[in-house]
Amino acid sequence: VVSKKLGRPGPALSLPKGRAADSWAEHRWTAVPASAAQIEELAQEHGLEPSQVEHLATLYGPGLSAVLSAAREPGLRERICPHSPDIRAQIAHAVEQEGAATLADVFLRRTGVGLGRCLGLDCADEAAQVMARCAGWDETRAAHEVAEYEAYVRKTYHPRGQHSSAD
């Protein structure tokens, strides 16, 4: 339904091989512009801001409908982080449909949260709880994911004025 409203083809059922893979990859990552009216309609229908729908359409292309379907679940249409247009449904989609196994994977590869203003540090705890529900983690695993992600970010990016001893 979403793909039809945006005038885009539906999601692929399997990954093609050979030349078909090249054309699929090109189509998958090429944003097809939708009209402002279509974006607005989807935003109203799913309780999102138009800028969020546009962001999701650009990110997921024909897979947009799967993410918007996940956003119908309670609490999943909320932003992951106040500094990013990404929504919690993307976490569910990443775990359940794309096989994401770590918080770092979700933040750095599946969404833009890890590249935002706070690098995902302001929302890591809440995001790990969403991921825990989707992946069946216990509290220990969720806390471990947050600690691992925070350590990685601090080592890699030195956020918030923290510097290594070499600085």
CB 1 within 8 A of CB 65: yes
Q: Tell me, what's the pLDDT at 70?
A: 94
CB 86 within 8 A of CB 79: yes
pTM: 0.76
Mean pLDDT by 10 residues, the chain (167 residues): 50 41 45 75 94 94 92 95 96 96 97 95 97 97 98 84 47
Residue type, 156: T
In angstroms, the CA 23 to CA 83 distance is: 34
Contacts of 60 (CB under 8 A, 6+ apart): 66, 67
Q: Tell me, what's the pLDDT at 36?
A: 87
Contacts of 45 (CB under 8 A, 6+ apart): none
Contacts of 97 (CB under 8 A, 6+ apart): 66
Q: How many CA atoms does the CB half-sphere of 68 hold within 13 Å?
A: 30
CB 55 within 8 A of CB 85: yes
